Amino acid sequence: MNLNQITIPSLDVVSATEYYKTLGLVLIVDALPRYVRFECPEGDSTMSIHKVEALPSGDDPITIYFQNENLDEIVSQLKQKGITFTSDPEDKPWLWREAHLKDPDGNRIILYSAGENRKNPPWRIKN
């Protein structure tokens, strides 16, 4: 099994589209104002955004992770493009380096660099 795609909700797909294009995703399906689909500039994953009348409620927001081995550089470039971060790149105890931000709908985004530790941390279960 391989993760192919995720879909996130948005109150304003047009605004969300511009935001994710600024992050570097490539628009491949344009059915604005109700739906768009992006592909990541690396790998095969895709992500879509669909129009909703109300966002999901609750204390645990949607979190989207994007990996980039040049994290500090990409964060600097995105800041120059006007993207606001809720936390700058920081080394975490789980051996990832992360920077946090939110999209226009409040979905949490984590840009990170993990290298080999993404799938093979020292505490990985042996199968």
- Specify if 64 maps to a domain: yes
Q: What is the pLDDT of residue 31?
A: 97
What single DSSP character describes residue 105?
Answer: T
In this predicted structure, what is the pLDDT of residue 59? 77
Flag whether 48 is in a domain: yes
Pairing between β-strand 97-102 and β-strand 108-113 as defined by DSSP bridges: antiparallel
Distance CA 28, CA 38 (A): 5
CA distance 127 to 92: 26
Q: Which residue segment(s) compose the domain that 14 sits in? A: 5-118
Terminal CA-CA length for the chain: 17
Residue 100, domain CATH: 3.10.180.10
Q: For residue 126, tell me if it sits in a domain.
A: no
In a domain, 57, yes or no: yes
Mean of the per-residue pLDDT values for the chain? Answer: 94
Q: State the total domains in the chain.
A: 1
Residue 26 lies in a domain: yes
Q: Output the pTM of the full model.
A: 0.91
CB atoms under 10 Å from CB of 114, counted, come to: 19
Q: Are 98 and 111 in contact (CB under 8 A)?
A: yes
Intervals of the chain under pLDDT 50: none
In a domain, 66, yes or no: yes
Q: What pLDDT score was predicted for residue 56?
A: 87
